[in-house]
Each structure stands twice: as structure tokens, then as C-alpha cells.
A and B are shown apart, each in its own frame.
Chain A
Amino acid sequence: MPRYGMVIDTRKCVGCQDCVIACKTENNIPEGYNRDWIITESNGKFPDIQMEIRTERCNHCSETPCVSCCPTGASHIHDVGGVVLVTHEKCIGCKACVEACPYDARFIHPDGYADKCTFCIHRVEKGQKPACVEVCPTYCMHFGDLDDPNSEVSKLLQSRKWHVNLPDAGTQPNIFYLV
């Protein structure tokens, strides 16, 4: 069974927010909310400053506090690719999953249910890429099966240095940032 993940090249990302807009239009995200966003991290002491720009979203973790805390089973791991999803008709809007995510990747949709990135599973199941990956003008985002050693994402992880977000939080995120 595949395990979907993303590999994002921070050396190519310029923080243009195309991925953010693509997600909002593809998934009809209401004004004022985001399923993905840009983080700019600056570090150092002038003139030795380093900067990393990251496009972030739900990490579709392998250890999922958001799924285990859900009292109704609305928050679940999808049959295909280990993608973390929310069944709207099962969600009571208790916000436990929003609190449980160390990345603060979830929010409460104005219609009342918990919402987040789906890896555009409706597109992926049709053989397409997630909207954010499809639209990236610098080709910094790669989507694929992390369990397949011959996939583009696996090869990138073998050949380049990378990090994940909050490795100490113990969630085993499936989005990797090339450095």
C-alpha cells in the first residue's frame, strides 16, 4: 500500500504563495482561512543571516494525535496512501483535533467541521497531482509514494539532505524539506 508524502525543496521555494491560492480555489477554502501557508524562518547575526522559506500544510503524519483524540471517528486515516482526512458528517466540531496538532494545521470551517489539507485526494485518486504541487512555478514541490524506493520523492530523500518539522513532537510527519 502506498504512503503518500511530499518532498519540498527549500532552495527553490521563493514563497510566491501560488500553492496557497491554488489550494484555496481548488478546495473552495473560505476567505480568512488557509489549508496551506508560507513560513519564513530567519536566523543568525548580521551579516551572517540564513533564511528558509517553507510551504507548510498538514503533515499527514504516521503517528496521528488528531486521529486518536477524535471522539467520533470523523478524523481518520484514509484507505489509500495513509492520508489523514475528516468525514464532515461525523465531526461534531469539538476542536480536540485542532488542539492536538502540534503544527496547528487544522481549523474549524465556518460550516462547523474540522478542516485541513487532504493532499487533494480527490485529484490524486484520478492520477493527478495535488493542486499546490501542480501549480508551483519553481517546481520545488514533489508528491508521491514514500514506500516505493523508485518514486521521485524517495530518490530525492536518498540523494539530498532534508529535515522535517518538529521531529521531537513524535508525530513522524510525511512532508520532508530539502536543504
Chain B
Amino acid sequence: MNELLELTTTRNNLHIDPTMAMWEWQIPVYLFLGGMVAGMMIISGYFLFSGRHKESNCACFSIPFISVVLLSWGMFALFLDLAHKLYVWRLYTTFQIKSPMSWGAWILILVYPALIANILMRPTPWMLKIYPKLSDWAGKINQHPFLIKNIGIANMILGMMLGAYTGVLLSSMGSRPLWNTSLLWVLFLVSGLSAAAAFVHLFAKNKAESELLAKADNGFLVIELFVIVMIFLGFLSSAKPHMEAAQLLLNGAYAPVFWVFVIGLGIVIPLIIQLLAVNHKIRHTAIAPIMVIVGGLILRFVIVSAGQYSHWFNAHFH
């Protein structure tokens, strides 16, 4: 018989005992939408920077408005998560340099103007109907290619910051071993890019762009797999709480959903489908991009939930 090592507690705080489940659906939804919008900003920023906006049907004209809508949904989910909602304005009366969440709050304030500048380059007909003066502004912006390039750069940099921060928010917590890897921001950024490429691919009207996005998505998916392997290598060669955290996903309670939905249906199978499609063996369909997007969402759910479950073992006799 093995030695017994058992902890019994009288504490029974809501959402904390027996295992931490403080952050519910709102946080993974926000992390996913934030990550995907970050990817969309990088993609549209790159299209502006590389001069693709000269094509009249460039996706870079529809991305920013969709990004504003998706990001606002994400922020609304974040707001729903707050337990002291009336005090939300307190985020903007201070800047706490050590707090990733404070960084995130201020990055979000910068992200909106960058997206709006991008929208103003080519307002849609319904926007012009509401506010006809927008066409004057669009005209002014379009007279300055240098300005357009800089709007592209601003979108790429702020997209990187937004995507990275969604990972740092979790990885800065030493208390939750599964989150505590400095590669988490890379995983979330690449996963955000891959979901964004898949999403834009779904509505891109320009054939060349659509093809480029599918190829880019394949690249992102391969990098994502590589980053996941590296994260596990790090955990499995680290201290015991980190090894146990990795095992939660590899062969523990979260293994079925991780292997089936994140790795299998979210990365490997869509990668195979898209590799066949870009090599013209099969036609492009919406199936692979939808799998990638849903896989990205489930990845956030698994990481947030399993991360909260992972813990240090508060035992003295060991």
C-alpha cells in the first residue's frame, strides 16, 4: 500500500473549493475574441502595409468593422464577468505597471482608434448614409500613402500587443502551474492569427487573398502545434506542480477534450484538409476554417479551466 498523504479542509468558498473555477465562460470567450481580433488586425495591417488595399475588393476594408464588433462583444463578456460592475471605470483612473490586466485595459483603448482609422480609409455605403462627411475624411487619408502605411503598422503592432497580452494575463500567474509558461503568449498569438486567417478566408472576396490566407493558416497551424509541443517539453522537465499540470491535458481529466477537439479537430484535420485544398486536390470549403475557429475557442476554454484546476499542493509532509 502506498503512503497516505491527505489534506482535509473546512473551507468551502464559492467557485474556489473544492477546485478553483472563478473564471467561467466569459474569460475564454473574451480571450478567444481578443486573440482573433488581434490576428485580424495583424492581417489587415499587413495588407495595408504591403499595398494590397489598391485592390478594390481587399479584405482589409471589411476586417476592421467586423473586428470592432467582435472585440466589443469580447469586452462585453469581460464586463459580464466583473463582480463589482459599477466600479469598472476604476480601470481608467490609474495605470498599474505590474498588472497585465491594467496593460490590457489601456491597450484596448489604443486598439479602437487604430481600427477606426482603418475603417475611415474606406467607409461602407451604410456608414456614408449615416454620416456623409466620412467620404471627405476617407479622401484625405487616401491622398497620403505614407499615412496608410502607418495605419497598417499601427494595426500590426497593436494587434501583436493585444494578442500577446491575452496570454500574459494568464502566464503571469505563478499560482496556476498550467498557465505559468512564458510561451503561452506565443500560443495565444499564433492561435489568434490562425483563427483570424480562417475567419477572413471565409468572407474574402479576392481569390488571390483567399488562397494566401489558407496558406498562411497552414503555416500558423504548424507553428501552433510546434509551440504546444515546446510548452509540454518545458512543463515535463519542470517542477512537480508543472508536470502534473501538463498531465491534466496529456492523460488526465482534460485529455479527451484536448486531444479530440483542440489537437485533432482544431488543428490536425483542418490542416490536412487545407493542405489538400491549397495543392488543388480538393476545393476550398468552409469546413476547415470553421474547425480552426471552433478549435481556437475550445483551446481557450481548456486552458482557462484546466489552468484553474492546476495547483500547488499545500502539504508539509512530503
- Is A50 an interface residue when CB atoms closer than 8 A count as contact? yes
- For the complex, what is the distance from the CA of A69 to the CA of B169, rounded to whole Å? 9
- Is B317 an interface residue when CB atoms closer than 8 A count as contact? yes
Which residues of B sit under 8 angstroms from A93, Cβ to Cβ?
82-85, 87
Q: Interface digits, B77-106 against A, CB 8 Å rule (1 contact, 0 not)?
A: 000011111011011011010111110110
Segment at the interface with B among A70-78, A118-126, A138-146: A70-78
Which residues of B sit under 8 angstroms from A104, Cβ to Cβ?
11, 13, 16-17, 20, 311
* Contact between chains at B3 and A44 (CB < 8 Å): yes
- For the complex, what is the distance from the CA of A169 to the CA of B240, rounded to whole Å? 12
* Contact between chains at B173 and A100 (CB < 8 Å): yes
- For the complex, what is the distance from the CA of A45 to the CA of B6, rounded to whole Å? 12
Interface of B, secondary structure class, is loop
* Contact between chains at A92 and B82 (CB < 8 Å): yes
Q: Interface digits, A57-97 against B, CB 8 Å rule (1 contact, 0 not)?
A: 00000000100111111100000000000000111111110
Closest B residue to A50 by beta carbon equals B317
- Is A170 an interface residue when CB atoms closer than 8 A count as contact? yes
Closest A residue to B173 by beta carbon equals A100
- For the complex, what is the distance from the CA of A142 to the CA of B181, rounded to whole Å? 38
- Is B208 an interface residue when CB atoms closer than 8 A count as contact? no
Which residues of B sit under 8 angstroms from A166, Cβ to Cβ?
312, 314
Q: Interface digits, B10-32 against A, CB 8 Å rule (1 contact, 0 not)?
A: 11111111001011000000000
5 further A-B contacts with Cβ under 8 Å, apart from A100-B174, A169-B312, are A40-B8, A43-B315, A68-B96, A92-B82, A96-B99
Q: Give A contacts to B, CB under 8 Å.
A: 17, 20, 32-34, 37-45, 49-50, 52, 56, 65, 68-74, 89-96, 98-104, 107-108, 111-113, 163, 165-166, 168-170, 177, 179
Pairs A–B under 8 Å by Cβ, sample size 28: A20-B10, A38-B10, A39-B314, A41-B316, A43-B317, A45-B1, A45-B3, A45-B4, A50-B317, A52-B317, A69-B172, A70-B99, A71-B104, A91-B84, A92-B82, A92-B85, A92-B90, A93-B82, A93-B84, A95-B83, A96-B169, A99-B23, A99-B308, A112-B83, A112-B87, A113-B83, A166-B312, A179-B316
